[in-house]
Amino acid sequence: MPKLQTLFLSLGSNLGNREENLNQAIQLIRQNIGTNLSISNIYETEPWGNLNQAGFLNLVLKIENFCFLPHEILEKIQKIENELGRVRVEKWGERCIDIDIIYFDELIIEDTRLVIPHPFIQERKFVLVPLADIAPDWIHPILQKTTLQMLEDCPDSGWIKVYEGL
């Protein structure tokens, strides 16, 4: 199995104890994917897509030095979501936890189960702002723009602020 270097995951929650949901997801990611993590600030954000729901807490993780292939990572994060009670009811709807693969090294994958890099990175401040905390100069392998360049061009007008906790 090849040793791949860098994975970025976006985590979000807007149901239940949002902060605890994120913490539990991080612990399960450490146990099941890798322990070498960089964690962005947590941000409180306006819902995206479906605005008729509670605000989210979002963060981005950078995981380095692990030994899984992209579809294995997808299976692992879906198992973590299920373990934490994720129920898929509607697209962009409320959820206790959402974990998306943003980048997997510089790989470009597009199949029926998985698209990497995530197709909406450049349109979502709730991904770009925390990503800029830990990877401001990471270059999108298709758009050939850094995180900061994408953030500057981002059309998302929703509010976002650093989460101060309870």
Of 98, 133, 137, 156, which is the active-site residue?
A: 98
Cα gap 19→41, rounded to integer Å: 12
Percent of the chain with pLDDT over 70: 87
pLDDT score of 85 more than 90: no
Cis peptide before 117 (omega within 30 of 0): yes
pLDDT of 64 reads 93
Of 100, 111, 137, 153, which is the active-site residue?
A: 100
Of 18, 30, 88, 95, which is the active-site residue?
A: 95
Q: Give pTM, 2 decimals.
A: 0.91
Alpha-carbon dihedral angle through residues 130, 40, 70, 18, given to the nearest 10 degrees: -90
| pLDDT classification of 51: cutoffs 50, 70, 90 | low
Catalytic residue check, 86: yes
Q: What does the pLDDT look like over 98-113, one tens digit per residue? A: 999 999 999 999 999 9
Q: By three-state DSSP, how is residue 13 classified?
A: strand
Mean pLDDT of the chain: 89
What is the set of domains in the chain, with CATH numbers?
A: 4-162 (3.30.70.560)
Catalytic residue check, 95: yes
Of 86, 105, 137, 156, which is the active-site residue?
A: 86
